[in-house]
Chains A and B, each alone.
Chain A
Amino acid sequence: MAAICGAASRHFYKAYSVAESFFMNPSGISDKAKTEILALTYIESLYFDVMTNARYAKHYGTMIDRDSSLIGLVIAYEKKALRLLEIGLKNQSVETLLNQNMKQKMELVQIQNELRDSLAVMTRNAIMVKARSTLSVMLDFEESDLPADEDLPQEYIVKLVMPPNLILENEGDFAKLMSEDAYVIGQELTDYSDSKKATIELSRNRLEEEIEKVYNEEFVNFYLQL
């Protein structure tokens, strides 16, 4: 589950970073569309980044009974998830966007509270483990000490191949894809470009004839002069 969250987060973050630099340039895309794309990708990327770390914490949390030294790892994952949440939820540039997506915001706030509670419990347990342990067990993990994300299991790796049962609903009838006005304009543009293309072809043929004529005349004159 953590690896799946990680994959989702990476894709959303890629979309966000491309969009962020792309939208710096002037384009025909409306500000509303830009904002919506940035909001969607930012929030989803944040959500899945948090979920990845929370899931890893949960994963290692189930193994603490067998190996109490893993408690440090759990704390590090929870701290990382909380850090990401605190940055994301306080980010002023996305505050409005988050307020428009109250369901997601509430879910993130709920996760934040759960993580805080869990972190408090884990920290208490870590102190107890440290006191009980006669050996020097490493319990203080930094974010940089966290292991690399696990690879997605083979069965969940998506390969983009032509789906066998793909039906293109509007294939062959582009009129269905646009409004009547847009279709008429499109048709006019097609006719206009066809007529321009014919004019260009005609001009090119005439030019080629002229070139040949000039060349022949020059060639003949040259030899005559000789």
Chain B
Amino acid sequence: MTRALQFCSSDNDNLKKEGIVKAKNAAYLLREMKEKYYGEFVNSGFHDTQFPHLDILESVNLGLLYKCLYNSLKVN
């Protein structure tokens, strides 16, 4: 996600494309965390928070993905 953030504001076209891949991978991993692992963690009862921070990060990554895509197409 950090790399996607850096790459999408770069002037280099290849880095922008790389940013799309990074944002997509981050979004995929966050969704896996949210739906596969965090869900089970929440259900275990050993938690005191149900804060949707993973939701926020996943949405930010999807936004970043389209931002990289837009920046990449804008130049072309």
Contact = CB atoms under 8 A, between A and B. Distances in A.
Interface of A, helix, strand, loop or mixed by DSSP = helix
Contacts of B52: 18, 22
B25 interface: yes
B63 A44 contact: yes
A27 B51 contact: yes
Interface of B: 21, 24-25, 27-28, 31, 49, 51-53, 55-57, 59-60, 62-63, 65-67, 69-70, 73-74
11 contacts: A7-B66, A11-B66, A12-B60, A15-B60, A22-B51, A22-B53, A29-B53, A41-B59, A160-B28, A160-B31, A166-B25
Given A25-B51, A158-B24, A163-B25, A4 B59 contact: no
A14 interface: yes
A54 interface: no
B60 A40 contact: yes
A4 B73 contact: yes
Contacts of A160: 24, 27-28, 31
Contacts of B25: 163, 166
